[in-house]
């Protein structure tokens, strides 16, 4: 049974992961440059975006403390400056954001959703498996103090991305490497099924695009560009991984082709 995006608060009880399962999960994530801690685990790291906008989207949280799902990655918010540049490049394709729903799959504390409100999307939605992060995202939407007019409505669903029914509007789907390959493959199959049933234009903006081979399995999405975009000096100084650029790939599904 699919779940629809809604504003209804839901609860999720997460059981501690047993040691054997934790070791297996760590082995699965070992190839991911962002899945293992480089500083104190779960340490809250202040971020300039949060201080500027009255929110709490920072910090690093290991995935096994949030969910027992083997294929979800750890929580770490996208660099706002790099995402803002990626959204500028998206807008340069000529889309009218007012026709599109922006969906962050694995939205965490909601940072990408807040940055996306720079564009006048009809709706901005997030899907998050962790009840803790889902509650944080809702709180951040309520306390957000942007310096730009926000013209979008927000919707955050506490659910598994593989079992959600997607809106039948044109979509901009955002991924910040939120899960490993098996879940990504399920998500792309579901997106393929959705556009076959309800043909519409879809863009997929993939930050830290780790699975080129899996993306190639789904030719209904054509890659438009692949950019390595700079972080602002403030974002670079706050980044726990010491990166100065973030990589983005943009894919498009056009039902007319």
The CATH number for 73's domain is: 3.40.50.150
Q: What residues form DSSP beta bridges with 249?
A: 206, 226
Chain CA centroid to CA 234, Å: 21
Q: With CA atoms as reference, report the closest residue to 11 among 132, 139, 94.
A: 132
Q: What is the pLDDT of residues 1-26, one digit of tens each?
A: 345 554 333 222 233 344 444 444 45
- Determine the pLDDT at residue 257: 79
Q: Examine residue 35 and state whether it is found in any structural domain, yes or no.
A: yes
Task: Identify the CA nearest to 95 among candidates 114, 112, 115, 119.
Answer: 119
Q: Could you read off the pLDDT of 108-145 as tens digits, one per residue?
A: 999 999 999 999 999 999 999 999 999 999 999 999 99
Task: Tell me 45's DSSP state.
Answer: -
Query: Residue 169 and residue 125: Cα distance in Å, rounded?
Result: 12
Q: Which two tokens stand for residue 177?
A: 């490497």
Alpha-carbon span 60 to 40, nearest angstrom: 9
pLDDT at 105 over 90: yes
Question: Among the listed ranges 63-72, 104-113, 238-247, which one has the minimum average pLDDT value?
Answer: 63-72
How big is the CA angle at 209 (ends 249 and 95), to the nearest 5 degrees? 25
Residue 172's DSSP bridge partners are 102, 203
**Taking Cα atoms as reference points, which of 183, 115, 128 lies closest to residue 156?**
128
Is residue 60 in some structural domain? Answer: yes
Report d(CA 228, CA 249) in Å as an integer: 9
244-253: average pLDDT: 97
> How confident is residue 69, by pLDDT bands cut at 50, 70 and 90?
low
Q: pLDDT: is 72 or 190 the higher one?
A: 190
Question: Which residues, listed in sequence order, are joined to residue 61 by a DSSP beta bridge?
Answer: 75
Residue 140 lies in a domain: yes
Tell me whether residue 34 is in a domain: yes
pLDDT in tens, 204-239: 999 999 999 999 999 999 999 999 999 999 999 999
230 inside domain: yes
Domain span at residue 207?
18-253
Q: Is residue 2 part of a domain?
A: no
- Does some domain include residue 11? no
Count the domains in the chain: 1
175 domain residue, yes or no: yes
Q: What is the pLDDT of residue 3?
A: 52
């Amino acid at each position: 049974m699919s779940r629809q995006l809604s504003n209804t608060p839901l609860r999720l009880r997460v059981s501690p992961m047993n040691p054997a399962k934790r070791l297996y999960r760590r082995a699965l994530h070992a190839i991911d440059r962002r899945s293992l801690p480089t500083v104190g685990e779960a340490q809250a790291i202040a971020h300039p975006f949060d201080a500027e906008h009255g929110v709490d989207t920072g910090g690093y949280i290991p995935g096994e403390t949030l969910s027992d799902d083997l294929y979800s990655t750890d929580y770490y918010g996208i660099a706002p400056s790099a995402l803002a540049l990626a959204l500028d490049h998206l807008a340069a394709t000529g889309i009218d954001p007012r026709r599109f729903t922006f969906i962050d799959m694995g939205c965490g504390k909601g940072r990408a959703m807040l940055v996306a409100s720079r564009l006048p999307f009809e709706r901005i939605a997030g899907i998050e498996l962790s009840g803790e992060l889902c509650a944080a995202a809702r709180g951040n939407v309520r306390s957000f103090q942007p310096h730009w007019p926000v013209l979008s409505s927000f919707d955050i669903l506490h659910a598994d991305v593989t079992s959600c029914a997607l809106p039948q509007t044109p979509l901009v789907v955002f991924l910040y490497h939120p899960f490993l390959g098996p879940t990504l493959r399920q998500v792309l199959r579901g997106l393929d099924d959705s556009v076959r049933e309800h043909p519409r234009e879809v863009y997929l903006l993939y930050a830290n695009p780790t699975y080129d081979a899996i993306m190639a399995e789904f030719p209904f999405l054509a890659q438009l560009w692949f950019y390595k975009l700079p972080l602002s000096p403030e974002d670079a100084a706050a980044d726990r991984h010491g990166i100065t650029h973030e990589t983005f790939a943009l894919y498009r599904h056009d039902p007319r082709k």
